[in-house]
Structure 1
Amino acid sequence: MAADTSKPLFPAAPHTSLLPSHGNPNRLSPEATYWRNFRSSELETSSTYSVTHLAFSPAHAKPTLAAAWSSAVHLFTGDPLAPRPKVTVSKDDAAFSPSFRCDGALLAAGDKKGVVRVFRVDKPTAGPLRTLSAHTAETRVVCYPEAGGDKVHLLTAGNDALLAYWDVPSETPVFTVPAAHRDYIRAGAPSPVDHHLFATGSYDQSVKLWDARTGKAPALSFSHGASVECVLFLPSGGLLATAGGTTVKIWDVIGGGRLVHSVESHVKTVFALALGKMGTTGETRLLSAGSDGYVKCFDYGELKMTHSMRYPKELLSLACSPCGTVLVAGSSKGDIFVRRRKKNATEEEEEEVVSSEFAWTTPKPEKQALKPSYYRYFLRGQNEKAKQGDFVISRPKKVKFAEHDKLLRKFRHKEALVSALAKNNPRSVVAVMEELVARRKLVRCIGNLDVAELGLLLDFLHRNTTLPRYARLLLGVANKVLEMRAEDIISEDGGKLRGCVRNLKRMVMEEIQIQHTLQEIQGMISPMLALSASR
């Protein structure tokens, strides 16, 4: 069958889908702009212990943070966060999993021996109010209920695979499940819509949903596929996020544990999950932190990744304030990284209007109008960004000169040559020598070098004279140096110089031998090439 020659093999115009878009490729999305408005800082911890858990109080007006590292739970409050007296959980053992009660008045935390203690937040140094003892290994899961205003119950779990549901005032468990999982229980979360429901995750790769009303049997169980490091209910209560390995998965617990989506955006283990509220839209994002040093922002409504934030160290814990203005991440080296969102003028005015309904505040003085007699009058508009259609005149970039270039511009020839030799860059040294030859100053510079500087020059010649790129110039310079500075080389103080000359001689002899060998090879090959060409 003959080919159709009426149509060209390649179309003259590309398809419209292959053409580049006319939008600005560097333009950030609104969500990326929102997260970039967070300003980074670091809390002073003066510790190298891992920050294993972070938690914000759900009830305080100002952000109140509890951070667990070493043997205590450290409290921070205010905007910006300022340290408060710490809560000493145990004198000798590590503290884990601080959890605030729904009203923010009490704080519970576990330790390495399995003891859970309850403290008053307003009196952190007064000692524990209640002590709950049922575990035989470190307690990594301590959860107060979030919904329903439940103030008397507490869920705990730990490395002994024991699950306990406590009546805190009486210090007695309502029920316990001795083998709730087949391995360490490292993750737990309460439901935001029902104070009876809890979820736990274990190193046996399973995730289980528990109902405190039914007791010891799990209401639902499914496998994450890797050791579970963290579980978290999404605000609706019908979706559950689990983190383990390099994957974050979202499950439909109402639909019987059906997998909704799997997020594989980390390259190392994901250790923590948190919910971040966006102040501009009121939407909530799922945040994940891993040992790769990244915090990823995921829109679980659209099922897409929207932003990522890089941190200098691997992360073990993550928390976001209920108002969404403070994002905190804890590292394995004892660092606590804080990102505070910078509010714009509109949001500040809205807060002032709301606060003025309840309390009177001193009005802010009006800004003075700029006049030509003010210095700031001539600085206005310098920070303005160009809009679409504006003609931008770019400021020429300042050329950075090397040190030897600056010296050459000042006609300090010897210093320029020594500076280039000290940098040990063959291209720069040869360029300086060529410039000195053009100025007829190279011979004078060689004559003015002292013994140490002459040693630098001979060492450079020994290493670079045989290079084909620089051989013509450097061989001439070497001959001139040996001719002019023979007395310095032969003198009693010229031992190092004589060593450089011997090395230079050896390199030249080796190069000559190589050239002789190449000529012999050429003599053998030339007759063969001529014979093959005649045939």
Structure 2
Amino acid sequence: MADLQTFPTKPRLKPTSKQPNRSPESKYWKSFKTHQISGLVSSITSINFSPLSPHHFAATYGASLSFFNPHHPFTPTEPLSTIHSFKDTSFSASFRSDGKLLAAGCQSGTIHVFEAKTRNNLRQLKGHTRPVRLVQYPRNDLLHLFSASDDSIVKYWDVATETSLNNLMGHKDYVRSGSPSPVDDNLFVTGSYDHTVRVWDIRGFASGSNSSAMVINHGKPVEDVQYLPSGGLIATAGGNVVKIWDVIGGGRCLYTLETHNKTVTSICVGKMGKDSGDESDQYRLLSVSLDGYFKVFDYSKLKVTFSMRFPAPLLSVGFSPDCSTRVIGTSNGIIYMGKRKEKIDEKPSIDQGFLGFQYRDEPKRVLKPSSFRYFHRGQSEKPKGGEYLILKPKKVKLAEHDKLLKKFRHKDAFVAVLQRKNPENVVAVMEELIARKKLFKCVSNLDVGELEMLLGFLQKYTTLPRYAGLLMPFASKVIQMQAEELRSNDKLKSQIRNLKRSIQEELRIQQSLLEIQGIISPLMRIAGRR
């Protein structure tokens, strides 16, 4: 008799789950503690961080644009201020490279330019005839911006004079996304619902050309496009696919990522901090989708390194330049702000801001083995080097069937666990009784009511792949042992018929699956040869 003293009993048939991802990068992304910002009513259409410390971020939703300070010590989830000067839905908030101006588009086709500090509306750029879904400042250019609209036109603006310098034609459907080059102010890229991504070069405008320098076909309506930090690669998102393209090499597709189940709505580039487990800072591509998943993609190794599920469709994502804040906007007006703990050498004092001085914290007293308090430390005290922590064994609360097994009341334990109707516990007790060679003796001693309860359990769980290896032969043995009782009782006959019907249905399903496998296997071999 093996393992008689192992309590509580645990099922051996339970499949082992995958080991959790404990890589340094996974720990890095899990270190972002999520704060929920709710009550914003409408979908979060865009998120953009200020390039200046403390890196406030702006979020557009409904007819509003709100500013948040994720580093606020008391109310990081409360907006610092909100702009309500939009007549209808706002889109695509974008900070200028010096952080002093902010531009955003709206449903009416107007581009609003605000002073970031005072929130005053400085300019209104009018020229688009349909909603403006894209507004972006170039990398370092303080005088111009580019925009795109549902009218399929891309415009290049002189902000000071409120004039459109060029109308860039080429797209044949809604233009919803774009990105400036991180290495050259003359280049930017736009993505459209006509399935194409176009690279524009401002230097060609001087010669009167308003055509794009390169056209890339994503294959599906493009929801978002981003230049990667090197300036030679771009990432495009459309449908449930994210693709990486080499624009220097003529627009060649380098990789296709298909890990989302629904439309990928937004992508951005995030720079990992120095304490992320890597010796040097590295960039990652962040994506969100209508399937509710946020994913992190290491495009240098071409693999997804982190994935997280949210309870709503996701529309926008942003990552702060100081690597401390990750912000995700949803379709139901909720912002999930993930913030990492800041490592501060010296605790700030509340009195410092009001009284002009602060109290210094006394150094923490170190306990030594020579002191009486050393031997009366609490449970929260962590062991130091060279010390060994002796844990008091926790008292295990046993279920009724475990208590009966300890008393060797095998049949009573079997009946007790059947009454609880927990399949994992029932299987665990059956395995224990098999080890004790008492299972069939228990079955032979069951009365009609207990036998009916056992047959009901077998009917429900025998065909499940998880338990079939044990329960199928056991059910056959039970029917042989209790044949006379089954023939003489109508209720038991009904249970047997139901069990037979369940097994026949499972056999029919397995036969269909084998036929499907026979059809697919030759096709897979042919595809593999190609």
* Compared CA separation, residues 342 and 470, structure 1 to 2 (3 A): same
Partner in structure 2 of residue 369 of structure 1: 366
* Compared CA separation, residues 350 and 282, structure 1 to 2 (3 A): farther
Partner in structure 1 of residue 66 of structure 2: 74
Corresponding residue to 2:399 among 399, 402, 407: 402
* Compared CA separation, residues 145 and 376, structure 1 to 2 (3 A): farther
Partner in structure 2 of residue 145 of structure 1: 138
SS state at 1:131 partner: strand
Larger-Rg structure: 1
The separation in 2 between residues aligned to 1:425 and 1:224, in whole angstroms, is: 54
The separation in 2 between residues aligned to 1:190 and 1:200, in whole angstroms, is: 9
How far is 1:273 from its partner?
2.4
Q: How does 1:82-161 map to 2 (within 5 A)?
A: 82-84=77-79, 85-88=81-84, 90-91=86-87, 93-124=88-119, 128-148=121-141, 150=142, 152-161=143-152
Partner in structure 2 of residue 310 of structure 1: 308
Partner in structure 1 of residue 196 of structure 2: 206
* Compared CA separation, residues 107 and 407, structure 1 to 2 (3 A): farther
Corresponding residue to 2:252 among 242, 259, 269: 259
Q: Which amino acid aligns with 2:329?
A: G
The separation in 1 between residues aligned to 2:213 and 2:202, in whole angstroms, is: 13
How far is 1:276 from its partner?
1.7
Corresponding residue to 1:231 among 222, 225, 230: 225
Corresponding residue to 1:65 among 53, 57, 66: 57
Q: Which amino acid aligns with 1:249?
A: I
SS state at 2:132 partner: coil
**Can you give the 5+ residue segments of structure 1 that lack an aligned partner in the other structure?**
1-24, 353-358, 439-445, 447-453, 479-500, 512-535
CA contact (8 A) 1:461 1:474 kept: no
The separation in 1 between residues aligned to 2:194 and 2:94, in whole angstroms, is: 24
The separation in 2 between residues aligned to 1:43 and 1:476, in whole angstroms, is: 64
How far is 1:123 from its partner?
3.7
How far is 1:228 from its partner?
2.2
Q: Which amino acid aligns with 1:83?
A: E
Q: Which amino acid aligns with 1:100?
A: F
SS state at 1:460 partner: helix
How far is 1:56 from its partner?
0.4
Partner in structure 2 of residue 494 of structure 1: none
CA contact (8 A) 1:158 1:186 kept: yes
Q: Which amino acid aligns with 1:88?
A: H
Q: Which amino acid aligns with 1:319?
A: G
TM-score (norm 1): 0.65
Partner in structure 1 of residue 210 of structure 2: 217
Partner in structure 2 of residue 182 of structure 1: 172
Q: Which amino acid aligns with 1:189?
A: S
SS state at 1:86 partner: strand
How far is 1:94 from its partner?
2.2
Q: Which amino acid aligns with 2:163?
A: T
Q: Which amino acid aligns with 1:367?
A: K
How far is 1:298 from its partner?
1.7
How far is 1:176 from its partner?
2.0
How far is 1:260 from its partner?
6.7
Partner in structure 1 of residue 335 of structure 2: 336
CA contact (8 A) 1:205 1:224 kept: yes
CA contact (8 A) 1:461 1:504 kept: no
Per-residue deviation, residues 444-463 of structure 1 (Å, max 9, x unmatched): xx9xxxxxxx9x87973885
The range that moved more, 106-115 or 404-413, is 404-413
The separation in 2 between residues aligned to 1:284 and 1:45, in whole angstroms, is: 32
How far is 1:379 from its partner?
4.8
The separation in 2 between residues aligned to 1:464 and 1:219, in whole angstroms, is: 68
CA contact (8 A) 2:235 2:242 kept: no
The separation in 2 between residues aligned to 1:140 and 1:288, in whole angstroms, is: 20
Aligned pair count reads 432
Per-residue deviation, residues 476-503 of structure 1 (Å, max 9, x unmatched): 999xxxxxxxxxxxxxxxxxxxxxx974
Q: Which amino acid aligns with 1:87?
A: I
Q: How does 1:114-513 map to 2 (within 5 A)?
A: 114-124=109-119, 128-148=121-141, 150=142, 152-177=143-168, 179-215=169-205, 216-226=209-219, 227-245=221-239, 246-253=241-248, 255=249, 257-259=250-252, 261-264=254-257, 266-268=259-261, 269-280=263-274, 281=279, 283-291=281-289, 292=291, 293-300=293-300, 303-305=301-303, 307-313=305-311, 314-343=313-342, 348-349=344-345, 363-371=360-368, 372-373=372-373, 375-376=376-377, 379-382=380-383, 401-405=398-402, 420=417, 422-424=419-421, 428=426, 460=453, 463=456, 469-470=477-478, 503=491
How far is 1:57 from its partner?
0.7
> Sequence identity of aligned pairs in percent?
33
CA contact (8 A) 1:153 1:166 kept: yes
* Compared CA separation, residues 364 and 261, structure 1 to 2 (3 A): farther
How far is 1:190 from its partner?
1.7
SS state at 1:90 partner: coil
Per-residue deviation, residues 5-38 of structure 1 (Å, max 9, x unmatched): xxxxxxxxxxxxxxxxxxxx999554444434x2
CA contact (8 A) 2:70 2:325 kept: no
CA contact (8 A) 1:66 1:98 kept: yes
TM-score (norm 2): 0.65
* Compared CA separation, residues 410 and 69, structure 1 to 2 (3 A): farther
